[in-house]
Amino acid sequence: MKSIFIAFDQAYYEQILPILSNNHVRGFTRWEEVQGRGSKTGNPHYGNHAWPTLNSAMITVVDDSKVKPILEALKKLDATSDQMGIRAFVWNIEDGM
């Protein structure tokens, strides 16, 4: 099993849900408002006067075989805009209940 953590511009939420659904991923946890900035490019998302936009984040746990198609779909979505960003990170899951 793998965990996929996805941090993204809030505007991408409605486009990320079908990616998960199309890959038969039902369960996830979402944080609606998170602050941050990219490590390479992009503007800060702090939710304040100077940087008013915010990001969201979600995490899901999937079978290993689902990771590659999900990451490929997220990368394709990320390529649609230079102004908004998506980053995804994968971790091994050791145990769960």
Beta-bridged to residue 6, according to DSSP, are: 58, 88
Asked whether 88 and 6 are in contact (CB, 8 A), the reply is: yes
Q: Which two structure tokens, joined as six digits, stand for 30? A: 């979402």
- Per-residue confidence (pLDDT) for residue 86, from 0 to 100: 93
Q: Which two structure tokens, joined as six digits, stand for 79? A: 């390529």
Q: Tell me the C-alpha distance between 74 and 67, whole Å.
A: 11
Q: What are the residue ranges spanned by the domains of the chain?
A: 2-92
97 residues of the chain, pLDDT tens digit each:
999 999 999 999 999 999 999 999 999 999 999 998 887 777 888 989 998 889 999 999 999 999 999 999 999 999 998 888 899 999 999 987 7
- Per-residue confidence (pLDDT) for residue 63, from 0 to 100: 96
pTM of the complete model: 0.91
Domain 2-92, CATH number (from 3.50.50.60, 1.10.10.1110, 3.30.70.120, 3.30.365.10): 3.30.70.120
- Per-residue confidence (pLDDT) for residue 43, from 0 to 100: 81
Q: Which two structure tokens, joined as six digits, stand for 4? A: 């996929």
